[in-house]
């Protein structure tokens, strides 16, 4: 019996930090007042600063003006985590793994929607192909959070959602946000 063959990319993914390690980094960094204070805040749009993440991960400190959000998206093959440093963030996610490619529109079955609110000092880890949106629902307060991904983001898929219908709308590459 021969040994199973593994794609080199899959081996590289296994070598990096786990989702739990990314969450630990995000929580520790979000608790550092000097790091949080280093982020310039804009009253009109989200701001971000790249951070040195653990083990070759990609990390960001992000500012969220009142009423802003990401829209529905995933981080492709990257696992990740985020933690709230200031304010409160709401995450809406799907508790189902979607096909990674080969579709433009899907009708989601009932019972897959999840929501959680993350106060300062709270965080969330997730695996590959995690579809979610993150929102600052406050009408008055800025939020700040720390995010980490491994492997570094190869792309972000953006989705539109109308009721149970999720539609792939756009694919962003690193050059779009760096």
Which pLDDT tens digit goes with each residue over 133-170? Answer: 999 999 999 999 999 999 999 999 999 999 999 999 99
What totals of helices (H) and strands (E) does the chain contain, helices first? 3, 12
For 94, the domain range is: 8-176
User: Is the pLDDT assigned to residue 2 strictly greater than 50?
Assistant: no
Which pLDDT tens digit goes with each residue over 37-66? Answer: 999 999 999 999 999 999 999 999 999 999
- The verdict on residue 95 lying in a domain is yes
- How many domains in the chain? 1
- The verdict on residue 98 lying in a domain is yes
Token representation of residue 69? 């959000």
Q: Whole-model pTM above 0.85?
A: yes
- The verdict on residue 58 lying in a domain is yes
- The verdict on residue 106 lying in a domain is yes
Give the integer Cα–Cα distance in Å for 63 and 68: 10
**CATH at residue 159:** 2.60.120.10
DSSP class of residue 69 equals B
- The verdict on residue 112 lying in a domain is yes
- The verdict on residue 111 lying in a domain is yes
pLDDT the model gives residue 97:
78
- The verdict on residue 2 lying in a domain is no
- The verdict on residue 117 lying in a domain is yes
3-state secondary structure (DSSP) of residue 119: coil
């Amino acid at each position: 019996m021969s040994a199973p063959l593994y794609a080199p990319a899959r081996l590289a993914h296994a070598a990096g930090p786990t989702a739990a390690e990314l969450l630990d980094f995000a929580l520790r960094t979000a608790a550092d007042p000097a790091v949080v204070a280093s982020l310039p805040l804009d009253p009109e749009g989200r701001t971000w600063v790249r951070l040195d993440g653990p083990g070759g991960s990609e990390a960001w400190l992000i500012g969220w003006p009142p009423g802003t959000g990401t829209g529905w998206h995933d981080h492709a093959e990257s696992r990740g985590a985020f933690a709230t440093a200031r304010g409160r963030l709401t995450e809406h996610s799907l508790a189902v793994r979607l096909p990674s490619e080969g579709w433009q529109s899907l009708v989601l079955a009932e019972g897959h929607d999840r929501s959680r609110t993350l106060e300062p000092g709270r965080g969330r880890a997730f695996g590959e192909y995690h579809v979610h949106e993150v929102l600052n629902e406050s009408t008055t307060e800025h939020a700040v959070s720390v995010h980490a991904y491994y492997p570094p983001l190869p792309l972000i898929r953006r989705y539109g959602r109308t009721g149970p219908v999720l539609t792939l709308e756009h694919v962003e590459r690193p050059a779009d946000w760096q």
